[in-house]
Structure 1
Amino acid sequence: MQDRETDGHRARKRFGQNFLSDPNIIRRIIDAIKPQDGDILVEIGPGLGAMTHPLIERVPHLHVVEIDRDLIARLRERYSPDRLSIHEGDALKFDFSTLGAPLRVAGNLPYNISTPILFHLAEFADRVKDMTFMLQKEVVMRMVAEPGTEEYGRLSVMLQYRFRMGRLFDVPPGAFRPAPKVMSSIVRMVPLPAEQLGAHDDALLGEIVTAAFGQRRKTLRNTLKDYLDEAGFAALGIDPGLRGERLSVAEFVAIANYCSAHGRPA
């Protein structure tokens, strides 16, 4: 017997497929996105179309990025090209700048590759109006974490550097078919204005943040030894005996800008 919610489609582990099926949760997500006429809206991973249909009801045209050919065939049967543009392929490799700007992005992101997708999307932040995603709750808690908490890490710093983050509400496993083993959450990401970013070299900032959290139990004196000496820490007013999770986003930016201006220790 076919599962009515999955319409006979077998969820594929390699694509991280769990299909949203609870109509009340779907309604809450669509209300949170607030699609408007004139939006350039793209849904990542439309799956069986649980969110696709209500989104298309709100906007004259929708873009979707989908990797599963069986699901793409279903979407093509249901929607005409004048209402739905289907971009076949891996969202991790998709050039979102081809869709225009300002872009609104939404979707139930595959949990098995959620962090790489978030970093990929951050590259297009200057062309994005906002992004609303469903992700594993554990990942969302890391995204919105504050300094000094267990969840705070590289993901927190690099996303909060570019976006204003907000966790909206949780979604229980029972809202999906098949049900995942984890709780999910809805998160909204709004790009910060370019003038608020502050780092002179974004790539250097990324290197420093990665180094600071590469060995979480070690102090900054050890993790950032290739970037700062004692004089550098003193000039910045940062205690080298701290660990990376104690620093704010602004302090990481200050370190990167100091290194950009003064070079690395001899």
Structure 2
Amino acid sequence: MSHRARKRFGQHFLHDRNTIARIVDAIRPEPGDHLVEIGPGQGAITEPLLATGAQLTAVEIDRDLAASLRARYAAHPRFTLIEDDVLKAPLDCLQPTPLRLVGNLPYNISTPLIFRLLALPGVVDMHFMLQKEVVDRLAATAGTAAYGRLSVMRAAKASAQSVLKIGPGAFSPPPKVDSAVVRLVPRQPAFPVAAPDAFETVVRLAFSARRKTLANGLKSVLTRDQIEACGVNPSARPETIEPAEFAALGAAVAASEQTR
């Protein structure tokens, strides 16, 4: 019996075999890897991932799909199923580590989910299928059109690379947007983030007023002189500011708050 995609879960099922093969090739699983597949759906990628000899833990919220996967792989020694909302599932307890995360993420929760997953310990890399616009923003660098809040916040936690573009026809039902696969590799940033909360505040304020200069966008937390003291041009637009410069501005905000 076919499964009707549920809009509330943002379901679009991958069915194109060539696309599936290209995704698996981009991930390059090896025997002994511990893969965590988020949103396995009908198992389009699950089957070829298991065929590589990897151990696979699948996280599926849809109870009908979970039941189907459970029945299909009940006897498979390298398959484990977690039936839960991935935003709430206890993924930090998964063993053995290291983990490699893969999945076709629901586009409606992709951003908060990615940052939850980037906080997990023991993750080697992540390969996620997302709306192409989101992948472009994740991978963007300063001075490019897609560069924004998501680009900067990602830079503090991982490297990002767009590795594969996917058209709507590869899915059933086809989404209204193009998709892409992003490779995220968690790492320590090349710049210090001494005040994470203030860093996030500065980035949010700057890009909520991205047509304004930094001096105008950040006037509620920093003066022009304070911005200049960080080695940053207060007349610059936020899309030209490097992540490391935002981190320096965040540190200045934190220091200013401590002196009040």
- TM-score past 0.5 threshold: yes
1:105 aligns with 2:101: yes
**1:106-150: CA deviation from partner (whole Å, max 9, x where unpaired):** 0011112211211221222x4210000111111111111121233
1:248 aligns with 2:242: yes
Tell me the TM-score normalised to structure 1 length: 0.91
CA RMSD of aligned residues (A): 1.8
The residue type paired with residue 203 of structure 2 is V
1:161 aligns with 2:147: no
- Aligned with 1:245: secondary structure? helix
User: Is this contact kept in 2: 1:228–1:265, CA < 8 A?
Assistant: no
Show the 5 A alignment for 1:192-207: 192-193=187-188, 196-207=190-201
C-alpha deviation, 1:96, in angstroms: 2.1
1:114 aligns with 2:118: no
User: Is this contact kept in 1: 2:29–2:54, CA < 8 A?
Assistant: no
User: Is this contact kept in 2: 1:226–1:264, CA < 8 A?
Assistant: no
C-alpha deviation, 1:237, in angstroms: 2.2
Q: What is the identity percentage for the equivalent residue pairs of Structure 1 and Structure 2?
A: 48
1:21 aligns with 2:15: yes
1:70 aligns with 2:86: no
Which residue in 2 is equivalent to 1:130? 125
Which residue in 2 is equivalent to 1:189? 184
C-alpha deviation, 1:102, in angstroms: 1.7
The residue type paired with residue 131 of structure 2 is Q
The residue type paired with residue 112 of structure 1 is N
Which residue in 2 is equivalent to 1:52? 46
- Aligned with 1:42: secondary structure? strand
C-alpha deviation, 1:261, in angstroms: 3.7
C-alpha separation between the residues in 2 aligned to 1:31 and 1:234?
47
User: Is this contact kept in 1: 2:191–2:244, CA < 8 A?
Assistant: no
* Residue ranges of structure 1 left out of the alignment (5+ in a row): 1-6
Tell me whether 80-89 or 29-38 shows the greater mean CA deviation: 80-89
* Residue ranges of structure 2 left out of the alignment (5+ in a row): none
C-alpha separation between the residues in 2 aligned to 1:182 and 1:234?
41
The number of aligned residues is 258
- Aligned with 1:210: secondary structure? helix
